Amino acid sequence: MKLVTRNTDYAVRALCYMAHNKKRIVSVSELVSKLKIPRPFLRKILQALHKNNILASIKGQGGGFQLTSKIDKISILKLIEIFQGHFKLNECIFKGIRCPNIIKCRLNKKIGKIEKRVRMELKSITLEDLIG
């Protein structure tokens, strides 16, 4: 089970790299050569980060990406939600439909409590913590 999938992971690395080179514009090419992430996949990831206002993009020659916010404002939770959707540990199998399963509902309630705490912890971890 993966709390963090590969695209989120790559995003973390790319952003941390960019954080080291603060304010500088970093191109996909540079990131590819430094981080060894497949180029088109990384491109897609950076575009997603752009759409979510984590990165600014500069088109054209000499262009690339740039962090928009301070790294202590970017949490792992946020990145997870960009790439993996709304963070939920206990999705009911019978979403929408009337749940026929009281047992599972009890379990979901308990998992819901765990989820709430995990969510808080993930929210508290920022890129800054990873760069140290």
Partner DNA sequence: GACAAATGATACTATTTTGGTATCATAAAT
Partner DNA sequence: ATTTATGATACCAAAATAGTATCATTTGTC
Where does this chain bind a copy of itself (CB under 8 A)? 1-4, 6, 9, 12-13, 16, 36, 76, 84, 87-91, 93, 100-101, 103-104, 106-107, 110-111, 114-115, 117-118, 121-122, 125, 129-132
Instruction: Choose the one of DNA, a copy of itself, none that binds residue 36, judging by a C-beta under 5 to 8 angstroms depending on kind.
Output: a copy of itself
Minimum CB separation from DNA for residue 132, in Å?
Answer: 25
Instruction: Return all residues near 78 (Cβ < 8 A) that are at least 6 apart.
Output: 54, 123
59 alpha-carbon distance from chain centroid: 23
Q: Residue 21 and residue 60: Cα distance in Å, rounded?
A: 20
As beta bridge partners, residue 66 has 56
Instruction: Indicate which single residue of 38, 101, 107, 124 sits in contact with DNA (rule: CB under 7 A).
Output: 38
